Amino acid sequence: MSLRAPTRAGRATAPLGLRPLARLLVDAAAGRPHDAPDELFAEDLGRVLAAGVLHRVTPAMARSLAAADAPDPWLAGLGAARHAQTLRHLRAVEDLKVTGAALDAAGIPWAVAKGPVLASVVWPSPDMREYYDLDLFVDAARFEEAIRVVLSTGGEQLDRNWPELRRSMRAEIAMTARHGTHLDLHWHVAVPERLRRQFPVDMAGMLRRARPVTIAPGVTMPTFDPVDTVHHVAFHAAQDGANRLMWLADVRYAVQDPGFDWDELARRAAAARTTVPVALVLDRAVRTVGLELPHGTSFDRARRGAWGSLARRRDRDHPFPGLPGDDRLGGNVYGAARPGTAASAACLLAYTLRARRVGRQHRARGTDGSPERPLQRDVADVTARAEYFARLAPGPGG
């Protein structure tokens, strides 16, 4: 484990050797006050704010520097980001109330994950975690009906390219809720079809085990149970490269729930074949935000294996957390983690080749600064739409 410098209270702080801005990011994500060194305030404020957005901890940076003698522009810029997140959270809660009530009225089992739940229930304060969307999960067999329900509340469907949806069989459709919050409606936590074949997550069980939580005064919503919450956020982090401090802090805070159990997490991860990717995320959280991982678990063994060693070596060569302008921020080693070194290596090679191909296509096509979003082309193919939903009828478990 990294050498850590003690604070005045004797508790760990950010790992030694980090760049000043990176140390601030880590302390912010871990919910610690930051004794800012003088060299930190030599940083360009624009780069500081960009780093906060990169790791989705800009509001937490404002809290971390609250007791520091920061320059006025810093306090104003970070304070504005914190205020903006508070407003986004309030709007998301209102959209969740409207959408959730409509799903309940239709008798559709559902659960909300990440965003407002992690901000309100898991993190120390709802103005720390920076998020921009809602993630709602429903049973696959009710997915078509759930889309209609969201639309009936004044929402809008963004992904409308039905031939592409049918081809990819993605387990989510992008929408917006009534008040404008981006809403990803899911029927599975593994969005690409290939991931569902590789990682057989018990989606029906996750919805069945959902529990109510209070995300605002008088607002109670269903979300995944404490073990499924940790499993979900760690698996999601791995698939996206585990390259944002927010995701590692999600895990650190979520394991503190009184209902969380390490042995049950190990059982569910083994059943879903997610032990290796989850272990790598846990290991990075241990090394950065102070997660305490018990010894002797399957995760402890997996993170010390060949692929875990490769991830740690990559982190030594390219220090985490990354900052704007750094090379290799993608985290493909984490996203490629599979049950077995050979399978992980093959996946990493495929990711590398795909990234190069996409890069060549991007350079050949040119860009106006707006990424192409094929799923949001309006292609109303009735046959493709019917075939997409027909594939969901048996449920996500197959």
Instruction: Output the pTM of the full model.
Output: 0.91
Note the pLDDT tens digit of each residue in 166-201.
Answer: 999 999 999 999 999 999 999 999 999 999 999 999
- Cβ atoms of 57 and 25 closer than 8 Å: yes
**CB under 8 Å to 200, separation ≥6 — which residues?**
271, 272, 273, 397, 398
Structural domain contains residue 371 = no
pLDDT of residue 269: 98
Domain total in the chain: 1
Residue with the two structure tokens 């407003």: 87
Q: Which two tokens stand for residue 92?
A: 């998301």
Give the residue from 87, 58, 244 showing the smallest Cα distance to 181.
87
Structural domain contains residue 308 = yes
- Cβ atoms of 215 and 116 closer than 8 Å: yes
- Mean pLDDT on 110-132: 95
Phi/psi at 37 (5° precision): -70, 160
- CATH at 293: 3.30.460.40
Residue with the two structure tokens 């936590």: 189
Report percent pLDDT > 70 for the chain.
91
Structural domain contains residue 381 = yes
pLDDT of residue 354: 78
In this structure, are strands 133-138 and 182-186 parallel, antiparallel, or unpaired? parallel
Structural domain contains residue 8 = no
Q: How confident is the model at residue 318 (pLDDT cuts 50, 70, 90)?
A: confident
R_g of the chain computed on alpha carbons: 21
Structural domain contains residue 370 = no
Structural domain contains residue 7 = no
Structural domain contains residue 125 = yes
> Residue 390 is inside which H or E element, if any?
helix 382-392
pLDDT of residue 302: 95
Phi/psi at 5 (5° precision): -90, 135
Residue span of the structural domain in which 83 resides:
16-363+377-392
- Mean pLDDT on 149-169: 97
Structural domain contains residue 168 = yes
Q: How confident is the model at residue 124 (pLDDT cuts 50, 70, 90)?
A: very high
- Report whether pLDDT(236) > 90: yes
pLDDT of residue 5: 30
The overall average pLDDT reported for the chain is 90
- Cβ atoms of 86 and 112 closer than 8 Å: no
Residue with the two structure tokens 């504005």: 80
- Report whether pLDDT(7) > 80: no
Note the pLDDT tens digit of each residue in 350-395.
Answer: 988 877 776 666 556 555 555 568 999 999 999 999 999 999 976 4
